Amino acid sequence: IYLVAADKGGISALRLAKHIGVSWPTARNMLKKIRTAMEHRDSIYRLENLIELDDALVGGKRPGKRGRGAQGKKRIVVAVERRGKKAGFMAAQAVEVINKKTVREFLKYRLKPGQTVRTDAFPSLNCAGETHNHDKKVTPPEEASNWLPLVHIMIGNLKKFLNGTFHGVSHKYLQEYVSEFCYRFNRRFWEPELPLRLLNACLTHTPVK
């Protein structure tokens, strides 16, 4: 737990296995349990006030066209609180498809009702107006940094996190790594306390198989 919490970039199963002298499957299973505790702890909270919402594609080794149609990639929904020019807390979820059903589920469990949600007016995100104050605007790529600056920074940082520490991840395990990134980001102001906070989260979680 300390090794996971102490390194800002996280730790891979291979590196953890070498550090503590266990097999890769054992280290991988330990990390899975720790990340499950991270995800559960963040699931308790809900985003509020002005929230930027967008979707993105991550991963993929096959070449393909850029944008929403790129092949071999996994979709994620990302939301981040906007506090002036700075980011508050964030939430992210890996999904099979971006449609109104998956977006509704994300909004239900990640945001407090009745918040202000800002999007780029992508059709699947328009369901935000059903339960929130939806502030939408069709946004060309060159204007994205002005209309949705923080969520795009978060998406870029998440991709760097996945590629830098883990050199990419499979679709099967993507949510684990997304949850770890969110957990770390949401506690960035309490880094010295992170090992003890993570230990507490693991101790209070139900057993993970």
- Please enumerate in sequence order all residues whose Cβ is within 8 A of that of 168, keeping only pairs 6 or more positions apart, or say none: 59, 61, 162
Q: Which residue has the higher pLDDT, 164 or 105?
A: 105
Cα 122 from Cα 130, distance rounded (Å): 15
- Winning range, highest mean pLDDT, from 60-69, 96-105, 164-173: 96-105
- Please tell me the predicted confidence (pLDDT) of residue 166: 56
CA distance 209 to 199: 18
Residue in the block written with tokens 């092949």: 71
188 sits in which H/E element = none
List, for residues 64-95, the tens digit of each pLDDT value: 454 555 556 889 999 999 998 899 999 999 99
